[in-house]
Structure 1
């Protein structure tokens, strides 16, 4: 079965959404020729199969509540490195 990736989803999110078990992320990665840490794009199609490790109670709960697991991507991070090595003169580092 193919699944269309939604905005801010990663393989871990899909593993939980489809199988109710984060351990199935390894099966998803292997099935799709990916690493578990690869970035996936919204609207990308990936193959999904029901795992023997499925936790149906969680899958059913998410379906009944119409919840989508999307914990965020790297594009939502707004953390800027700090410290003297990252300072910009007259911006962060004021010379008086």
Structure 2
């Protein structure tokens, strides 16, 4: 039986890693997303494109946190190409540390 899938619209600066955290609560979702969308795990995504997201549970606690708090991570790049993932607030840190 195939997994049900939904589509997610890519936001500016989002990567598959960002969407994996947003939808699955875990970076392991990158490989599921890459496979299901027939793209590389490091593919540069274009804002507005849609990514098929299979209905899979990897980290239910984090997945529910992201959904309940409308967390939509986006990787930021500085001018010197340093990449930082800026997604979580102090509330998250207190709750999960």
Q: State TM-score, norm by structure 2.
A: 0.71
Match of 2:93 in 1: none
Using the TM superposition, give the Cα deviation of residue 77 of structure 1 relative to its aligned residue in structure 2, in angstroms.
Answer: 3.4
Structure 1 or 2, whichever has the larger Rg, is 1
Structure 1 segments unaligned to the other structure (5+ residues): 81-96
Q: Which runs of 4+ in 1 moved over 3 A?
A: none
Match of 1:77 in 2: 78
Distance 1:4 1:68 in 2: 11
Distance 2:69 2:56 in 1: 22
The equivalent position to 1:66 in structure 2, one of 66, 70, 94, is: 70
Q: What does 1:23-62 align with in structure 2 at a 5 Å threshold? A: 23-52=28-57, 54-62=58-66
Matched, 1:9 2:9: no
Alpha carbon RMSD of aligned pairs, Å? 1.5
Structure 2 segments unaligned to the other structure (5+ residues): 1-5, 82-97
Using the TM superposition, give the Cα deviation of residue 51 of structure 1 relative to its aligned residue in structure 2, in angstroms.
Answer: 2.1
